[in-house]
Structure 1
Amino acid sequence: MEELTDGVYAFTETIETEEGERAFHPAAVETERGLLLLDAGLPGQAEALGAEIEAAGFGWGDVWAVLITHQDGDHAGALATVREKTDAVVFAHEACAPYVDGRDEPIKGDGERYPPTPVDVELVGEETFGTTAGPMRVVYTPGHAPGHVSLYLPEERLLLAADALTAADGELQGPSEQFSLDMAEAGQSVARLASLAVEGVLCYHGGFSRADDDRIAAIGESIES
């Protein structure tokens, strides 16, 4: 667990694969109502997420909401279990919600889908959540997956990019070509993020990078070329 700024926490979940250890980085943000989780992690990883929440000084009872950034199983797979533990309000973009709640089958994945979970509030982008770190804005960033969203805290110049960007060894990189459904659209989303004043980025894959909007703009230009 790492506190990126007051009330904003980056979590780490790890799994062993044939290629070695893989790490994932859901997050949580403090609000007046309690913790707002950003993504729930893989199926079977709810206990690992709970341990990270405890490391931040909270418990399941402090979680009032979960915002799913997109439909992929490594983000929404444990949502049903988290919902059972917390009775949290579930947020997702309107283009993502059908995959989460079971109306449509997730586009990605090669096995049994994760348990469907109702989405209580469907987002359209540009909504703002009040947090202890200031307003947090929903930024619509499709391309990697339908209805993908990122979160931006302007007072902290902090971007929670989910899979719109990745990082490796602290260096900010573009979205994964292998796992993005539409790289042209993903590039447009990166350009949208480059318009924000940013001094740090949390990526679901790769963790935190002390990168700025100039770096994001350069990534966007490389995708366009």
Structure 2
Amino acid sequence: MTETAGIHALPVTVEYGGRAITITPAVVETDRGLVLIDAGPEGTVGSLETHLTSLGYELTDIWLVVLTHHDGDHVGGLAELLERVDAVVATHREEAPYVSGERDPIKGDGDRYPPVGVDLELVDGVRIPTLGGPMEVVATPGHAPGHVSLYFPEGNLLIAGDALVADVGEGTDGDGPLDGPKPHFTPDMDRATESVGSLAALEVDHTLCYHGGYVDQGSERIREIYERLRE
């Protein structure tokens, strides 16, 4: 995927919302084992396990799950995963009530995923040591109130979550495929635009999006997206 050591994209095609979608969780190697970035919707665990086996790991090597936000396609499979893995669950403090069931998800028809307790509430600027260098939490609200992205300054790699997308097709602007968040799924586009501006200030050479996967584009393209969203 990338020259950044110890970081692996795990593309999975699943049925979600009545259609097939391809999502891209990721795992990051650390001295303690694996950090999983987003768990995917219900029914994803088997595919994650297959990916990890191909990398020489087991599902039980996951010790930490970092959730970029509370949407069902990112969290729905977490309860199933935790039936097999004893892992710490971390997300931004503004996302925690939705994950734990104290609040219903902002998006969706009320048929929520199984709630899961949050062990660790993240804030902007927190750094987690990994084999790819420090993984920095970057607050990128807008798509969800406490959405976060993850930045690896030693490899200039950004794991964007849904703050950016790389779906090729309708809505792609300019020399894509990297683009801004999808307005239809983003309740607060003004905050989301500010978040793209925060990402544009980082030194990014390549980007991993949950929707669209790995893109060999970074700061220059993100700045273009930010300027367009501000118009």
- Which TM-score bucket, shorter chain as reference? over 0.9
- Whether 1:177 and 2:176 are equivalent positions in the alignment is no
- Contact between 2:94 and 2:145, CA under 8 Å: does it hold in 1? yes
TM-score using structure 2 length: 0.93
Change (3 A) 1:41 1:85: same
| Bigger shift: residues 12-21 or 44-53 | 12-21
Measure how far apart 1:20 and its partner are: 6.0
Q: Hey, what does 1:216 align to over in structure 2?
A: 222
Tell me by how many angstroms 1:4 deviates.
Answer: 5.6
1:78 matched to which residue of 2? 77
Aligned to 2:146: 147
TM-score normalised to the size of structure 1?
0.95
Identify the residue that residue 95 of structure 1 maps to in structure 2: 94
* Structure 2 residue aligned with 1:37: 36
Please identify runs of 4+ aligned residues in structure 1 that moved more than 2 A. Answer: 2-5, 15-21
- The whole-number CA distance in structure 1 between the counterparts of 2:26 and 2:220 is 24
| Aligned mates of 2:3, 2:147 — CA distance in 1 | 22
Structure 2: state its 5+ residue gaps: 169-175
* Structure 1 stretches lacking a partner, 5+ long: none
Distance change in 2, residues 1:115/1:17 (3 Å): closer
**Which structure is higher in strand share?**
1
Query: Bigger shift: 132-141 or 107-116?
Result: 107-116
| Percent identity between the two aligned chains | 49
Distance 2:19 2:58 in 1: 30
Separation in structure 1 between the aligned mates of residue 75 and residue 93 of structure 2, nearest angstrom: 15
* Deviations 1:110-165, CA, capped at 9 Å, x for gaps: 25211110100001111001000101100000000111000000000000000000
Determine the structure 2 residue equivalent to 1:127.
126
Could you list the per-position Cα deviations for residues 145-187 of structure 1 after superposition, in whole angstroms to 9, with x for gaps in the alignment? 1110000000000000000000134721111111001111000
Matched letter for residue 46 of structure 1:
V
- CA root-mean-square deviation: 1.6
